[in-house]
Structure 1
Amino acid sequence: MHDDTFTYSANISVMFTEHPLLDRPRAAAAAGFDDIEMWWPFEQPVVENAQLRELAAAISQAGVALRGLNFYAGDMPGGERGVASIPDRAAELRANTAALLELAEATGCRSFNLLYGQRDARFSQAEQDSAALASLQRAATAVASIGGTVLLEPLAKGHNGDYPLTDPEQVVDLLRGPLAHLPNVKLLFDLFHLGSNGFDIVGGVPGLIQWIGHVQVADSPGRGEPGTGTLPIVASLDSLANAGYEGLIACEYRPTVRTEDSLTWIDGHAA
Structure 2
Amino acid sequence: MKLCANITLLYPELPFIERFAAAAADGFKAVEIQFPYDTPLAVIQHELQQHNLRCVLINVPAGDLMQGGEGLAAVPERQAEFRAALEQCVEYARGLQVDCVNVLPGRCNDNSRRAQYLATLQSNLRLAAAALAPLGITTTFEAINTFDMPGFLIHSGQQMLDVLAELQQPAVKAQFDLYHMARMGEPLVEFIRANIGSIGHIQFADTPGRGEPGTGELDFAAVFAAITESGYSGWVGAEYRPSGPTSSTLGWMQRVPAA
TM-score when scaled to structure 2?
Answer: 0.93
Following TM superposition, by how much is the alpha carbon of 1:122 offset from its aligned partner in structure 2, in angstroms? 9.9
Residue equivalent to 2:189: 202
The reply to whether residue 66 of structure 1 matches residue 61 of structure 2 is no
Is structure 2 residue 135 aligned with structure 1 residue 149?
Answer: no
Q: By percentage of residues, which structure has more helix?
A: 2
Could you say which residue in structure 1 is the equivalent of 2:255?
A: 268
Q: Secondary structure at the match of 2:242?
A: coil
Offset at 1:82?
A: 3.6
1:109-188 aligned within 5 A: 109-121=98-110, 124-177=113-166, 179-180=167-168, 182-188=169-175
Return the letter of the residue paired with 2:74: S
Tell me the alpha carbon deviations over residues 194-249 of structure 1, each in whole angstroms, 9 at most, x when there is no partner. Answer: 11111111233211112111111100010000110001122011012112212211
Partner of residue 234 from structure 1, selected from 196, 203, 221: 221
Q: 1:51 to 1:122 in 2, by over 3 A?
A: farther
Please give the per-residue CA displacement for 1:6-54, whole angstroms capped at 9, x wherever unaligned. 12100011001211112211211111111000111347xxxxxx82222
Segments of 5+ residues of structure 1 without an aligned counterpart are 1-5, 44-49
Give the aligned residue type for 1:136. Answer: L
Instruction: Tell me the distance in 2 between the aligned counterparts of 1:203 and 1:136.
Output: 26
Which range moves more in the overlay, 80-89 or 214-223? 80-89
Corresponding residue number in structure 1 for 2:208: 221
Which shows bigger deviation, 26-35 or 52-61?
A: 52-61
Identity across matched positions, percent:
33
Cα distance in structure 1, aligned partners of 2:68 and 2:47: 28
> How has the CA–CA distance of structure 1 residues 123 and 93 changed in structure 2, closer, same or farther, with 3 Å as cutoff?
farther
Q: Distance in 1 between matches of 2:134 and 2:121?
A: 20
* Alignment check: 8 A CA contact 1:191 1:233 kept: no
1:253 aligned residue (237, 240, 250): 240
SS of the residue aligned with 2:131?
helix
CA distance in structure 2 between the aligned counterparts of 1:127 and 1:81, rounded to whole angstroms: 14
Match of 1:143, SS state, is: helix
In angstroms, what is the RMSD of aligned CA positions?
A: 2.0
Unaligned runs of at least 5 residues, structure 2:
none
Residues 24 and 256 (structure 1 numbering): CA distance in 2 closer, same or farther, change over 3 Å? same
For 1:47, the equivalent position in structure 2 comes to none
Instruction: State the secondary structure of the residue aligned to 2:196.
Output: helix
Report how many residues are paired. 258
Distance 1:233 1:108 in 2: 30
Match of 1:188, SS state, is strand
